Amino acid sequence: MMTDPIADMLTRIRNAIQIERPFVDVPYSNVKKGIAETLEREGYIWDFHVVEIEDAPQNILRVNLKYGPNGERVIQHIKRLSKPGGRVYCKIEDLVDVLDGLGINILSTSKGILSNREARKEHVGGELICEVW
């Protein structure tokens, strides 16, 4: 049994980037899909899609990773902030830029899973899921 499926997703992405894989497969959930949508909107991955497996109890979320023209990594750092044992929440006033705007925080808000830039536009706070740069 997995205690933190979001941390597992982020670790799979981190490991796949280290060995320069073109994609990574993670077990599907709506939260993971929301994280992948946010990473795609912010330009950190190419795209993602759901792979349906007939006999498996759970579908797969395939995330196509993005690299620069010379093979440089677009995602340099991806870290889980809020954990099951210690949740981290942030008000709209407390949202700060990551690396002076070069990175993002991903939040779970009442309006869905958003980056810190999108959360400021929507004027909502929420649970900090992870930081990416």
- What pLDDT, in 10s, does the model give residues 67-100? 999 999 999 999 999 999 999 999 999 998 999 9
Please give the model's pTM, rounded to 2 decimal places.
Answer: 0.95
Does residue 29 have a pLDDT over 90?
A: yes
Contact 18, 73 (CB under 8 A): no
Greatest Cα pair distance, the chain, in angstroms, is 47
Q: Which pLDDT does position 2 carry in this prediction?
A: 78
- Residue 97 region, left (φ>0) first, then alpha (ψ -120 to 50), else beta? beta
CATH number of 5-132: 3.30.1370.30
- What pLDDT digit, counting tens, does each position of 32-70 carry? 999 999 999 999 999 999 999 899 889 999 999 999 999
Does residue 1 have a pLDDT over 90?
A: no
Compute the distance between CA of residue 122 and CA of residue 108 in angstroms, rounded to an integer.
13
